[in-house]
């Protein structure tokens, strides 16, 4: 068993589950415990387990995915730069109000990556210093990487005022 | 971003002395479409707010609709300076998901071509960085070499810019002897061009003055801000996935290259690290190209993972069946219902793909870990306090590729 699991088990008993696939190790937090446990768990990983770099933050929408329980998921990938050990922390969230604590107080690198998750999935991060849309325009109202957002279509074009050459 | 929002961001007390300058989105020194909203005090940057998304084209949404082979064409267009490195990274993740062991010949070919892509990327970065600082000649020397690399890709795949050459479990086709000859020719002639650039820039007074102690990134900040690749190595973070978790043919080529690092963390250090990495890459290629193993380039047809070649498709019933199995929209690959992350060391840093699979032949989610996106977030940290003329130096040393930045 990896060393970080002893530390996490002692500090957060029964708060998370683990899984593994190929060489990926994962720790999952369900939607009920994630808002409360995610930040202290990441802090423990950073300060006590040697995972000093956050290399990846990405969102996933599990709507209609086989055997999925919660809908949204944010994947935090942490890396120990000395040993090269990697761990993924998956924190789930649900409609109507998906909110998770931000990792920016721990790693400045989370800033833009969390903004992208917010932009694409509408998952809000509390205590984020600058939670604005990053890739889509400010006026945009939808979250394009959600599974209920269509792949094809006219998109949000009808939301924007149509200007002819004479009017502009 | 509306300008009112920028004004709200700015809470400096001496606001009346400051003014706002839009740098981009159409500015020659940004190279690609990205915009910086700079708040200036005279010529000193008080605040820099990057505004991105001008090239956002929904690549990750497309990744959920295209299958593992089709998506290669999109992946090519992320970092279009070194497209083959992206293909290798994408298929490394797919092959990890499907548990495919590549043939030795394919591993070597992918390694050689990915290293050529790295040299191509570094040449553009260095040439353009010098160009922005007024040194046109180095740019021309660098692009002359890139032309030879494009010739290699053209000979191998038929396409110069976006080869689309990699396939699940192998490559589109095996290479011919011409490709080997072109690679040998490149390896022979590259050191001379490299030393030309070195002599043009390394002791160039203007170039050194404008890059030394500009845009400093400390080692602790580099780790805290998720930085990888040559930018992290220039700040003293000794990490290279080719050494730390070797993939493809790198385990056998460990003796041929060293990890190049610097401690300065400024634009000059990043330039020097890239220059040294090109020499190391050329060493890898020189060793690998003489040792390409014989044998098939794709995994065995029996595994039902690779597209059979035309001979097998038209002349055997098994080949024909498998061809249709992989091309019919309701068949394709059987994936485990699981998710996987795999990363490779590309020219800009760690390029990773996080694939969630739902059992069908398409990805449920194809998340990219884009190094350009993460590195551009450094820009305000590096630029604030510097002069406006340092902006091209910093941008040039970060090597931001907007297509990968916005995807």
User: Residue range A35-48: average pLDDT?
Assistant: 90
* CATH class of this structure's domain B59-65+103-297+373-406: mainly alpha
Distance from CA of A82 to the nearest CA of B (A): 9
Task: Answer yes or no: do B340 and A21 touch at CB < 8 A.
Answer: yes
Nearest to B369 among A56, A60, A107 (CB): A56
Band of the pLDDT at B6, cuts 50, 70, 90?
Answer: low
Band of the pLDDT at A12, cuts 50, 70, 90?
Answer: confident
- Residue ranges covered by each domain of chain B: 3-51, 59-65+103-297+373-406
SS3 assignment, position A29: strand
Among A31, A76, A59, CA closest to A149:
A59
Which percentage of chain B shows pLDDT scores above 90? 37
* A63-102 pLDDT, tens digit each: 888 888 888 999 999 999 888 899 999 999 998 889 999 9
The pLDDT, as a whole number, for residue B30 is 67
Domains and CATH numbers, chain A: 3-159 (3.30.460.80)
The pLDDT, as a whole number, for residue B396 is 87
Residue of A nearest to B402 (CA): A135
Q: What is the ipTM of this complex?
A: 0.90
Cβ distance B87 to B292 under 8 Å?
Answer: no
pLDDT of B342 over the 80 cut = yes
Largest CA distance in chain B: 78
Q: Which two tokens stand for residue A68?
A: 């999925």
pLDDT of B5 over the 70 cut = no
Task: Answer yes or no: do A109 and B53 touch at CB < 8 A.
Answer: no
Higher pLDDT, B159 or B1: B159
- List A residues 144-163 in contact with B (Cβ-Cβ < 8 A): 144-145, 151
Cβ distance A62 to A54 under 8 Å?
Answer: no
In angstroms, the Cα distances linking B231 to A117, B104, B183, B218, B398 are 24, 31, 28, 11, 7
Band of the pLDDT at B329, cuts 50, 70, 90?
Answer: confident
Band of the pLDDT at B264, cuts 50, 70, 90?
Answer: confident
* A91-141 pLDDT, tens digit each: 999 988 899 999 999 999 899 999 999 999 999 999 888 888 888 888 888
* B30-74 pLDDT, tens digit each: 677 888 888 888 888 888 888 888 888 889 999 998 889 889 999
β pairing state of A17-21 and A24-29: antiparallel
Average pLDDT in chain B: 88
Name every chain B residue with its beta carbon within 8 A of the beta carbon of A73.
none
pLDDT of A154 over the 80 cut = no
SS3 assignment, position B353: strand
* B77-114 pLDDT, tens digit each: 988 888 999 999 999 999 999 988 899 999 999 999 99
The beta strands (E) that lie in B67-169 are given as: 166-167
pLDDT of B294 over the 70 cut = yes
């Amino acid at each position: 068993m990896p060393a970080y699991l002893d530390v996490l088990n002692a500090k957060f008993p029964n708060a998370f589950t683990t899984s593994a696939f190929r060489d990926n190790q994962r720790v999952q937090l369900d939607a009920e415990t994630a808002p409360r446990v995610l930040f202290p768990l990441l802090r423990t990983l950073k300060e006590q387990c040697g995972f000093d770099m956050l290399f990846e933050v990405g969102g996933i929408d599990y709507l209609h995915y086989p055997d999925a329980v919660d809908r949204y998921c944010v994947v935090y990938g942490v890396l120990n730069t000395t040993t090269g050990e990697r761990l993924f922390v998956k924190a789930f969230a649900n409609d109507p109000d998906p909110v998770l604590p931000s990792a920016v107080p721990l790693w400045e690198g989370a800033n833009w990556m969390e903004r992208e998750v917010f932009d694409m999935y509408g998952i809000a991060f509390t205590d984020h210093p600058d939670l604005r849309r990053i890739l889509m325009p400010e006026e945009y109202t939808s979250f394009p990487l959600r599974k209920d957002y269509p792949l094809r279509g006219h998109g949000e074009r009808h939301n924007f005022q149509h200007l002819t050459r004479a009017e502009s | 971003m509306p300008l009112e929002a920028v004004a709200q961001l700015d809470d400096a007390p001496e606001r009346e002395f400051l003014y706002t300058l839009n740098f981009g989105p159409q500015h020659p020194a940004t190279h690609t479409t990205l915009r910086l909203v700079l708040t200036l005090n005279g010529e000193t940057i008080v605040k820099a707010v990057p505004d991105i998304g001008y090239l956002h084209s929904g690549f990750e949404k497309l990744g959920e609709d295209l299958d593992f082979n089709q998506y290669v064409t999109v992946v090519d267009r992320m970092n279009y300076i070194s497209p083959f490195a992206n293909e290798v990274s994408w298929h490394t993740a797919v092959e990890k998901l499907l548990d495919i062991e590549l043939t030795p010949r394919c591993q070597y070919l992918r390694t050689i071509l990915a290293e050529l892509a790295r040299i191509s990327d570094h040449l553009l970065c260095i040439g353009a960085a010098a160009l922005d600082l007024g040194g046109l000649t180095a740019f021309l020397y660098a692009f002359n070499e890139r032309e030879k690399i494009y010739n290699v890709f053209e000979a191998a795949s038929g396409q110069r810019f976006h080869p689309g050459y990699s396939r699940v479990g192998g490559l589109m086709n095996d290479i011919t002897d011409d490709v080997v000859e072109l690679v040998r020719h490149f390896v022979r002639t590259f050191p001379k061009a490299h030393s030309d650039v070195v002599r043009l820039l390394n002791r160039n007074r203007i170039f050194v003055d404008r890059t030394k102690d500009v845009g400093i990134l400390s080692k602790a900040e580099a780790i805290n801000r998720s930085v990888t690749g040559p930018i992290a190595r220039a700040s003293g973070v000794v990490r290279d996935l080719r050494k730390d978790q070797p993939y493809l043919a790198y385990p056998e080529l460990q003796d041929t290259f060293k990890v190049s690092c610097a401690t300065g963390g400024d634009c000059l250090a990043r330039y020097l690290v890239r220059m040294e990495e090109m020499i190391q890459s050329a060493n890898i290629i020189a060793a690998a190209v003489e040792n390409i193993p014989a044998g098939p380039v794709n995994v065995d047809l029996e595994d039902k993972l690779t597209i059979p070649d035309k001979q097998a498709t038209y002349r055997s019933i098994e080949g024909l069946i498998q061809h249709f199995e992989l091309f019919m929209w309701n068949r394709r690959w059987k994936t485990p219902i699981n998710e996987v992350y795999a990363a490779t060391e590309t020219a800009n840093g760690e390029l990773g793909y996080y694939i969630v699979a739902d059992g069908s032949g398409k990805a449920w989610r194809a998340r990219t870990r884009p190094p350009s996106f993460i590195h551009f977030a450094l820009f305000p940290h590096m630029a604030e306090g510097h002069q406006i003329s340092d902006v091209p130096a910093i941008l040039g040393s970060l090597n931001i590729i907007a297509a990968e930045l916005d995807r």
